[in-house]
Structure 1
Amino acid sequence: MTGNTLRTFFLLAGMTALFMGIGYMLGGAGGAMIALVFAAGMNLFAWWNSADAVLRMHGAREIRVDERDQRLRQYASDVKALAFKAQMPEPRIYVIDTDQPNAFATGRDPQHAAVAATSGLLNRLNREEVQGVMAHELAHVKNRDTLTMTVTATLAGAIGMLANFALFFGGNNRAGLLGTIALMIFAPMAAMLVQSAISRSREYEADRVGAEIHGNPMALASALEKIERSARQTVNEQAERNPATAHMFIINPLNGQRMDNLFSTHPDTANRIDQLRKMAGAAAPVRSGPWGPRGPWG
């Protein structure tokens, strides 16, 4: 078990314990068991339906074999080639119609995975940069991060819901009125901290594995720089309507957070680029690929 996997295990265990603790404060030992069963049921549902649910939320369209758009055919072909190189099953491939450049992966395991890129990503990045981004997303699938992220998001949402539910019990629960107020404030914050910690550690690892799959860390570094710059200037309406899925994207689609703070779901992009430069053994500034800033299809 790697250090990253072990850290994720303990963080998820802590979140589960927090969920059960809230249940205990609301209803004693019986409340704790009900909370555990409820969490298990929610996670089982998410395990089976996460991919399709997230794709529907963002209006993703699956790429067909008879696509007329050469850009989309090339994108799908490159993803399949990268999956073959990574020795993993081909995922379902989607495109999301939004100008913001971004991408995410979803699915409970490599055999039931899907990757999605926005039209903005395909328009603004060159081919090698798009490949770098999709290699990053395939790394999430290969590392089984997509399931971890879904379970974490589900538990975090459930903890917040339970904390709000405690308000209706007021001082009649084990925590008392002051305890209930503290529970409402600090339980969601604790869940957010755990979710952020898991997401950020997974992004660094996916950058590393994705760069190894693609073979050129600087392509991903260049892509991250472009996506970060454009994401702060372009509104992703689907993501704004579904903020709980923000941690799944390669760059935060809701805003351009640059601080590596406690509640950020993504690491600082500059830190990620520095790590990729170290992998490439280069200290030179990130440069655009051979097709220029808008890519071969723009």
Structure 2
Amino acid sequence: MNYLRTAMLLAAMTALFMGIGYVIGGQGGMMIALLIAAGMNVFSYWNSDKMVLRMHHAQEADERSAPELFHMIRQLSANAGLPMPKVYIIDNPQPNAFATGRNPQNAAVAATTGLLNMLSKEEVAGVMAHELAHIKNHDTLIMTITATIAGAISMLGNFAFFFGGNRENNNPFGFIGVLVAMIVAPLAAMLVQMAISRTREYAADRMGAQICGEPMWLASALNKIAGGVEHIHNPDAEANPATAHMFIMNPLSGERMDNLFSTHPATANRIAELQKLAQSGLGTGAAYRAPSASSGSAYRSGPSSQPSSGSAPSGPWGSARGSAPREESRRPKGPWG
């Protein structure tokens, strides 16, 4: 049903794109819009990962620069039956992550430095498992193409203002059609884009919990990420809002309402679903084992645990041991150096 719904939403967005072309230039404009949409989809298919990673200034990491993160993703990929994706790190204090790529053989996962510094190893594993679930479900291609078409619809809406009112362009609706193209069409594209994202997040949460073997790791991570995105600005995401739905949580705001205008389901609802999975017995044995136990877990043991909002964030990659660490050792250290 999720795939059928996604296909229907993509068809609706393509039809909307063609409709704007018809408003601007009649049947000729509609055919041109269809050709543009097809060309953009082909371009997005081959270049989606490079486009999004470049927008967010992601830097590729390897086994030498980020050994713990690299080994974690390698183990989780094996659990998911996926080839090892490329690993990227984004120098941004907001805790967040996303996956991109046209298929599992050409995929990439990216995590911000804020995510790596604020979450425990187990929580990071839950987030990376969620992103690998998007890759396994081929969500990355769908959501990237959707973002491309949504941006193009907004662009065509602006063109309608300049060209749509000219009778020589065979505009069949006149000024009213121009207003519809300028206001209603971009809004409708945004709603379709959000709907596609929301249909895929719950599925990725469930599969991610299966990949890492512990639903509460992801639930704990979502609780921390929700607080981080609400208070920490992400300038790259603000400059490229069409990519917001690709992140594990909306990077543009702290939106938590599960309504028509949110790019993601409500965090509380996602956590509740993960708690149900834990109560069903999925969390009895973790499929991923961190190299060392984390002291920064936001959950008590047991499937009915609730998020702890008062625990201080701790870096997932360990800190200097000893009774009196030096001041510079107090800061969480990421795996990139």
TM-score range, shorter chain: over 0.9
Q: CA deviation at 1:180?
A: 1.1
Give the direction of change, closer, same or farther, for the CA distance of 1:175–1:220 in structure 2 (3 Å limit). same
Q: How does 1:14-25 map to 2 (within 5 A)?
A: 14-25=12-23
The alignment partner of 1:78 has SS state of helix
Gaps of 5+ in 1: none
* Structure 1 match to 2:92: 98
Structure 1 residue corresponding to 2:178, chosen from 177, 180, 193:
180
**CA distance in 1 between partners of 2:276 and 2:166 (Å):** 55
* Structure 2 match to 1:293: 313
**CA distance in 1 between partners of 2:238 and 2:181 (Å):** 27
Residues 16 and 155, structure 1, Cα contact 8 Å, conserved in 2: yes
Q: How does 1:218-237 map to 2 (within 5 A)?
A: 218-237=216-235
Q: How does 1:118-129 map to 2 (within 5 A)?
A: 118-129=112-123
* Structure 2 match to 1:209: 207
Residues 171 and 180, structure 1, Cα contact 8 Å, conserved in 2: no
The amino acid of 1:147's aligned partner reads L
Residue 260 of structure 1 pairs with residue 255 of structure 2 = no
* Structure 1 match to 2:283: none
The amino acid of 2:60's aligned partner reads E
- Of 258-267 and 92-101, deviating more is 258-267
Q: CA deviation at 1:156?
A: 0.9
Between Structure 1 and Structure 2, the one with more helix by share is: 1
Residues 218 and 286, structure 1, Cα contact 8 Å, conserved in 2: no
Q: CA deviation at 1:24?
A: 1.8
The alignment partner of 1:232 has SS state of helix
Q: CA deviation at 1:287?
A: 4.7
Q: How does 1:25-36 map to 2 (within 5 A)?
A: 25-36=23-34
* Structure 1 match to 2:107: 113
Give the direction of change, closer, same or farther, for the CA distance of 1:170–1:267 in structure 2 (3 Å limit). same
Residue 246 of structure 1 pairs with residue 244 of structure 2 = yes
The amino acid of 2:306's aligned partner reads P
* TM-score (normalised: structure 1): 0.94
**CA distance in 2 between partners of 1:95 and 1:65 (Å):** 13
The amino acid of 2:305's aligned partner reads A
- For the pair shown, the structure with the greater C-alpha radius of gyration is 2
Residues 171 and 177, structure 1, Cα contact 8 Å, conserved in 2: no
- The percentage of aligned residue pairs carrying the same residue is 61
Structure 2 residue corresponding to 1:284, chosen from 305, 312, 320:
305
* Structure 1 match to 2:326: none
Residues 156 and 191, structure 1, Cα contact 8 Å, conserved in 2: yes
Alignment deviations for residues 184-219 of structure 1 (CA, whole Å, 9 cap, x no partner): 110011111110000011111110111111110000
The alignment partner of 1:227 has SS state of helix
Q: CA deviation at 1:29?
A: 2.1
Residue 85 of structure 1 pairs with residue 106 of structure 2 = no
* Structure 2 match to 1:58: 56
Residues 126 and 292, structure 1, Cα contact 8 Å, conserved in 2: no
Q: CA deviation at 1:48?
A: 0.9
